[in-house]
């Protein structure tokens, strides 16, 4: 199972905010032991909100399950020796500082590989380790802008639009997982580690593979096209009587079936719509005609009718519909966790692999510094030494009375609507 495929792999996680934590969360979902190294102030994502759950950031909790938190002040004299000691038993280091910061701290790739020759080291940055922009900071919205993604998002003639979910952060985290797993596979074969350069800018360009390829072929800057796919029609959202639905019927057979379903067989012989290229060229006229047809009935009516004809379609769902969908319920794609401060939390689970559903989630997101003493104890540091490190503020350890046993189980989505 994927849920234990990385069992035995230890990861030192120096990342914060989103891209890096998404990467390490997924590695943890696959069984890796993730040690989240935090400053005394904690991951910046701990302060991202709303929403808040009893003062805890839901955003942080959503991206940091399956990790242990060790809080350490990297500027204190005793910090680097501790981390070098931890590196001896570490397989992967992932960090999201600007290029050169880890080197200046004394824990960069070259310094760490002296104590762990086969170390896999993944640096996640905004623009990469080299190039004229290497030292520039970046966040998801800025990367959506500079990568061109924002220029093609939204309706034609509208202001630039940002995807509400942190798309570039997410895809960067996903690609970093792929790079780390591939590097571990190579290390298993060769015994050699390596440094990986994963950055948000390159990841955002990879996300736009087809769009940028189209531009390079035509040298025509694309307009925003709303819900429409610029290469196919009909393939966009249409307005039914009670809301929007997405219809993809550009395949010749499905186009003919759609004409029959809306009782407009004449459209199949219309020269403006005779093939996909013609329909793309005359999209505005096509959308106007089909909207007139669809607005006569409800979304549910049309989705059922079109699905009977094997036409690919769906209602445009909001989150309340998504989390209560029969597919989410059947595959148990949501989990609930008990957090010692936030309380009862519902989250998307680990959706890769097969049975058991949502496997791999063993820990809730950690409290700041929750596992500091536990990790130091594993390194063979005795209690009096740990007390001294805490007293000297080299490390931060929270009150162990705040610890609660992790608890989670799959939930049925319809429980989300309860108000008690």
Asked whether 60 and 43 are in contact (CB, 8 A), the reply is: yes
* Sheet strand arrangement including 408-410: 343-348, 334-339, 408-410
For residue 148, the Cα-to-chain-centroid distance in whole angstroms is 19
Q: How many CB atoms lie under 10 A from the CB of residue 68? A: 18
In 215-250, which positions are buried (b, 16+ CB within 10 angstroms) versus exposed (e)?
A: eeeeeeeeebbeebebebbbbbbbbbeeebbbbbbb
For residue 320, the Cα-to-chain-centroid distance in whole angstroms is 20
Active site residue 4: no
The helix (H) or strand (E) run that includes residue 93 is strand 92-95
Both structure tokens of 350 = 């680990």
Point out the catalytic residue in the list 169, 188, 266, 420.
Answer: 169
For residue 7, the Cα-to-chain-centroid distance in whole angstroms is 22
Asked whether 345 and 273 are in contact (CB, 8 A), the reply is: no
Q: Is the peptide bond before 118 cis (omega within 30 degrees of 0)?
A: no
Asked whether 93 and 87 are in contact (CB, 8 A), the reply is: yes
Burial of 211 (0-12, 13-18, 19+ CB in 10 A): middle
For residue 402, the Cα-to-chain-centroid distance in whole angstroms is 29
Both structure tokens of 239 = 């307005």
Asked whether 112 and 119 are in contact (CB, 8 A), the reply is: yes
Going by C-alpha positions, the residue among 69, 88, 76 that lies closest to residue 25 is 69
Phi, psi of 20 (to 5 degrees): -65, -50
Please give the sequence-ordered ranges of beta strands (E in DSSP) within 133-234, or none if there are none: 194-199
Residues with a known catalytic role: 169
């Amino acid at each position: 199972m994927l849920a234990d495929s990385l069992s035995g792999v230890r990861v030192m996680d120096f990342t914060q905010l989103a891209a890096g934590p998404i990467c390490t969360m997924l590695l943890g979902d696959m069984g890796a032991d993730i040690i989240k190294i935090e400053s005394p102030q904690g991951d910046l994502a701990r302060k991202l909100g709303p929403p808040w759950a009893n003062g805890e950031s839901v955003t942080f909790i959503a991206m940091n399950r399956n990790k242990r938190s060790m809080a350490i002040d990297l500027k204190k004299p005793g910090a680097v020796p501790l981390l070098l000691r931890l590196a001896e038993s570490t397989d992967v280091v992932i960090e999201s500082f600007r290029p050169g910061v880890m080197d200046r701290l004394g824990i960069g790739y070259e310094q760490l590989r002296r104590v762990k020759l086969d170390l896999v080291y993944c640096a996640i940055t905004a623009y990469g380790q080299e190039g004229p922009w290497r030292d520039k900071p970046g966040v998801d919205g800025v990367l959506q802008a500079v990568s061109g993604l924002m220029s093609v998002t939204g309706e034609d003639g509208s202001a630039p639009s940002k995807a509400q979910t942190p798309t570039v952060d997410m895809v960067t985290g996903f690609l970093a997982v792929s790079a780390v797993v591939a590097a571990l596979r190579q290390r298993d074969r060769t015994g050699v580690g390596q440094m990986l350069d994963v950055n948000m800018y390159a990841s955002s360009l990879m996300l736009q593979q087809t769009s940028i390829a189209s531009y390079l072929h035509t040298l025509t800057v694309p307009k925003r096209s709303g819900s429409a796919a610029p290469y196919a029609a009909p393939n966009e959202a249409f307005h039914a009587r009670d809301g929007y639905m997405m219809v993809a019927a550009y395949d010749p057979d499905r186009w003919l079936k759609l004409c029959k379903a809306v009782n407009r067989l004449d459209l199949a012989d219309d020269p403006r719509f005779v093939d996909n290229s013609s329909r793309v060229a005359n999209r505005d006229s096509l959308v106007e005609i089909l909207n007139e047809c669809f607005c006569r009935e409800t979304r549910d009516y049309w989705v059922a009718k079109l699905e009977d004809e094997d036409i690919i379609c769906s209602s445009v769902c909001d989150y309340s519909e998504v989390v209560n969908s029969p597919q989410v319920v059947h595959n148990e794609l949501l989990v609930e966790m008990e957090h010692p401060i936030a309380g009862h939390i519902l989250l998307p689970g680990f959706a890769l692999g097969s049975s058991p559903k949502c496997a791999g989630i063993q820990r809730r997101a950690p409290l700041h510094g929750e596992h500091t003493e536990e990790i130091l104890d594993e390194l063979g540091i005795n209690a009096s030494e740990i007390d001294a490190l805490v007293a000297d503020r080299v490390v931060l350890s929270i009150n162990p009375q705040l610890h609660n046993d992790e608890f989670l189980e799959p939930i049925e989505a319809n429980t989300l609507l309860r108000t008690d």
